[in-house]
Structure 1
Amino acid sequence: MSFRDSENEDGRDVRKPFLHTGSWYRMNSRQSSMMERLGSSAQVVRDSSVSVVLCVMIVALGPIQFGFTSGYSSPTQSAITSDLGLSVSEYSWFGSLSNVGAMVGAIASGQMAEYIGRKGSLMIASIPNIIGWLVISFAKDYSFLYMGRLLEGFGVGVISYTVPVYIAEIAPPNMRGSLGSVNQLSVTIGIMLAYLLGLFFHWRVLAVIGILPCTILIPGLFFIPESPRWLAKMGMNEEFEASLQVLRGFDTDISIEVNEIKRAIASSTRRATAIRFSDLKQRKYWFPLMVGIGLLVLQQASGINGILFYSSTIFKAAGISSSNVATLGLGAIQVIATGVTTWLVDKAGRRVLLIVSSCGMVASLLLVSVVFFLKGAISETSKFYVALGILSVVGLVVFVTTFSLGMGPIPWIIMSEILPVNIKGLAGSIATLLNWFIAWVVTMSANLLLSWSTGGTFAIYMIMNAITIVFAVLWVPETKGRGLEEIQSSFR
């Protein structure tokens, strides 16, 4: 049967994926039986966790690109402003334009992921990222910087939606939280790499290095299966079952999961043509949409991007002479804390980690805010001035650590879990768009706010994190250990 421009038995149009799912794992029952007879030598290939983890490791190159883009502006600020003669305002635009590009990417991401598949979307997202870094590396003035940053942002916007959705759709329920956290872990690794390499390489060379994640991702996409849930939704039943089989292991009975996914897809398809904006008044639509949007907006309103983008500037204000080294240390702590979350999230649960994380962020920002207000009131020659600088660094470290334990990875995990399949493309685009819009506002305003009042800036961020605590307590559901179809049906 040809999947291009054809119909399945239900009369629905089916389309071939932009990237074919590959033939290396498409095995019929006879071949699968032969595989079983190979014994222990084939065990690692048949192991579900190994198959899924390898897929996640490949798509995780996208979030590494995301993180490298986010971290690039911190270690390069002094060199770029000096070489190209940029003002603080012009550099603020450079830092924030990746968020503007990401907003455009976010608008397109949901429909791209629905129409051409998760893998096809990641392929398309990689190309403007590569071009954007090349444009920055050869920039002669701010116009080239801005153009390159917008192109990078577009790719990052698509990646930020597509990767967590792909991971959620391929992971078994008992591993979905841990594997979903790999998305944010990869972002933090990308940020740390930008900080580390920024200590040793000129900003133009650093931009060339930024090409690497996506250049490795592109060929890697040809070796992993497409999301089985997307294939089922497109009516590609043979491809759907082949994809799910390799993800769960060749010796695993997938019949129950196949039937659950088919029932959920069939139910959503019958209602798909009737979905209108007026239908969003139904709880099964407005509640998960409200939770997904709320978490992604509050994630950025926490101020994390402003702090990470301009961490070197903040450390200088705190009196730390080796500000770039301190920034690298902050990035390393973020990686470690996010790594801990990948272990905790399927044990402690999403909701608990969100609340604990937000409480820690409020306490740390209160400390940093008070410290900077006190620093402004005493002389730099005072013996307490240095002690206050150390306290501010401790507060920032605690903030980044607690953010990484919950508010960093979990909003993306929950968004990818709770959105109903028949509105996931549109709703996911809206949630991702608003996330990047708030990120742009925070990034664009951070330098200006810090110039106005460092203590006041952290006080504003503290209030936003206090709102997150209330939101998580009142509205965020626990999704640990539940199947995607079970989670989405619970809102009806």
Structure 2
Amino acid sequence: VGAIVSGQMVEHVGHKGALMIAAIPNILGWLAISVAKDTTFLYMGRLLEGFGVGIISYTVPVYIAEISPRNKRGALGCVNPLSVTLGMVLAYVLGMLVPWRMLALIGTLPCTILIPGLFFIPESPRWLAKMNKMDDFEASLQVLRGSDTDITSEVNDIKTAVASANKMTAIRFQELNQKKFRMPLILGIGLLVLQQLSGINAILFYAGSIFKAAGVTNSNLAACGVGAIGLLATGATTWLLDRAGRRILLIISSAGMTLSLLAIAVIFFLKDNVPQDSDMYYILSMVSLFAIVAYVITFSFGMGAIPWVIMSEILPVSIKSLAGSFATLANWLTSFGITMTANLLLSWSAGGTFACYTLVSTFTLMFIILWVPETKGRTLEEIQWSFR
């Protein structure tokens, strides 16, 4: 639900307003969980959290893309997934150290800090221009680029793009099939759906049970280690994205994921025919652990962060709120489906489950090679004009 309303919310109250609204259900959700007397409060808290996160997951990457200079947009766009990965690692670590009620209270801190912090950051210049607040638009862009920077060229590009978007009437569903809309929609939504279909949440959410199935005794510690490795890999992506480009990192990432998932699937199939007390079973368990780590590294290296960056870059201004909301919704629905089916699939066949994820990852690699363009070093306006 948060994903559905996120685009229209940003359209009407801006990125800062949307984030401020999202922070409130997040705080209330964690408080409901921390004081829960029965499952009703837990469900209520989870629903409030989901609503807030749905808004944030669209608003943040779009805001970062709109305020970033072209030569730093990739690295700054990766700060969001990097922060998400850091949060997951902290959740793993704190979950081993503090009771769950205390963990829920700790969860209120980021959004409690976010609300006053929003008063100290500028609104997106592109949103201000779209709202016809031209004085605020130029002032915001000047603050973002530095007081000594000449922003004349960028101001003119943004004004031209916004004027063109504002001339258009409301987009009808049939008109989304135009080339200038069709390809950005396919790419933005496709990458975010394929990101989840590769099974990353199945591995992260069920890491403990997967490691137990692999024969690892201290599965919680192993899950923390995998999270930390994912954090380092995402950090490497942040550094490389504006140097190497989005497309090559996505190709390397999806190829590595495919090989890792294939190895995991083969190992789990082999283990079904090996006695649990044998040396071979122990060796296969260790190899499966390394394969899972390799999968998390290769996912974090590209497919974890870059689909959100590309979605925020390629969607045209005129359909960004509608299409961005839909892309975010598609991502979360896919995540929901993978998370809900993972336990059932793993109970059916661990090897079969990872074989399915391997096929998806192979298709992802083909999708990137055939269709995904390079957006490094281009302004948002140049990217939009390239689809015309």
- Match for residue 277 of structure 2? 381
Distance 1:300 1:278 in 2: 28
> What does 1:451-462 align with in structure 2 at a 5 Å threshold?
451-462=347-358
Distance 2:186 2:274 in 1: 45
**Offset of residue 275 of structure 1:** 2.2
Distance 2:377 2:307 in 1: 16
Taking structure 1 as reference, are residues 335 and 294 closer, same or farther at Cα in structure 2, changes over 3 Å only?
A: same
**Offset of residue 274 of structure 1:** 4.9
Q: What letter is aligned with 2:278? A: S
Cα deviation, 1:243-274, whole Å, max 9, x if unaligned, reads: 00000001111111111100110011111x15
Distance 1:368 1:339 in 2: 25
Structure with greater proportional helix content: 2
Distance 1:186 1:470 in 2: 29
The reply to whether residue 197 of structure 1 matches residue 97 of structure 2 is no
Q: Which structure would you say has the larger Rg?
A: 1
Distance 1:114 1:379 in 2: 60
The reply to whether residue 348 of structure 1 matches residue 213 of structure 2 is no
3-state SS in 1 of match to 2:318 = coil
Distance 1:455 1:137 in 2: 38
Q: What letter is aligned with 1:110? A: G
Which residue among 319, 322, 330 is the counterpart of 1:434? 330
**Offset of residue 182 of structure 1:** 0.8
> What does 1:304-453 align with in structure 2 at a 5 Å threshold?
304-453=200-349
Cα deviation, 1:56-104, whole Å, max 9, x if unaligned, reads: xxxxxxxxxxxxxxxxxxxxxxxxxxxxxxxxxxxxxxxxxxxxxxxx1
CA RMSD of aligned residues (A): 0.9
Question: What TM-score, normalized to structure 1?
Answer: 0.78
Distance 2:194 2:56 in 1: 20
**Offset of residue 139 of structure 1:** 2.1
**Offset of residue 379 of structure 1:** 1.1
Which residue among 143, 147, 150 is the counterpart of 1:246? 143
- Match for residue 363 of structure 2? 467
- Match for residue 123 of structure 1? 20
3-state SS in 2 of match to 1:210 = helix
Unaligned runs of 5+ in 2: none
**Offset of residue 147 of structure 1:** 1.6
**Which runs of at least 4 in structure 1 moved beyond 4 Å after TM superposition?**
none
3-state SS in 2 of match to 1:211 = helix
Distance 1:139 1:306 in 2: 27
Distance 1:438 1:419 in 2: 20
> What does 1:298-309 align with in structure 2 at a 5 Å threshold?
298-309=194-205
Cα deviation, 1:171-194, whole Å, max 9, x if unaligned, reads: 000000011011110110000000
Distance 2:297 2:145 in 1: 34
Distance 1:429 1:130 in 2: 22
Which residue among 57, 61, 64 is the counterpart of 1:167? 64
Q: What letter is aligned with 1:299? A: Q
Distance 2:264 2:48 in 1: 35
Unaligned runs of 5+ in 1: 1-103
Q: What letter is aligned with 1:214? A: C
**Offset of residue 143 of structure 1:** 2.5
The reply to whether residue 294 of structure 1 matches residue 190 of structure 2 is yes
Distance 1:375 1:295 in 2: 33
Distance 1:452 1:208 in 2: 37
Q: What letter is aligned with 2:163? A: A
- Match for residue 114 of structure 2? 217
- Match for residue 85 of structure 1? none
Cα deviation, 1:191-246, whole Å, max 9, x if unaligned, reads: 00001111101111111111111111111000000000000000001110110000
The reply to whether residue 277 of structure 1 matches residue 173 of structure 2 is yes
**Offset of residue 370 of structure 1:** 1.1
Question: What TM-score, normalized to structure 2?
Answer: 0.99
> What does 1:226-265 align with in structure 2 at a 5 Å threshold?
226-265=123-162
Distance 1:357 1:185 in 2: 16
User: Percent of counterpart pairs with the same letter?
Assistant: 67
Distance 1:177 1:480 in 2: 7
**Offset of residue 130 of structure 1:** 0.9
> What does 1:43-192 align with in structure 2 at a 5 Å threshold?
104-192=1-89
Q: What letter is aligned with 1:363? A: L
Distance 1:348 1:193 in 2: 29
- Match for residue 99 of structure 1? none
3-state SS in 1 of match to 2:216 = coil
Q: What letter is aligned with 1:255? A: T
**Offset of residue 144 of structure 1:** 2.1
Q: What letter is aligned with 2:367? A: F
Q: What letter is aligned with 2:44? A: M
Distance 2:242 2:265 in 1: 34
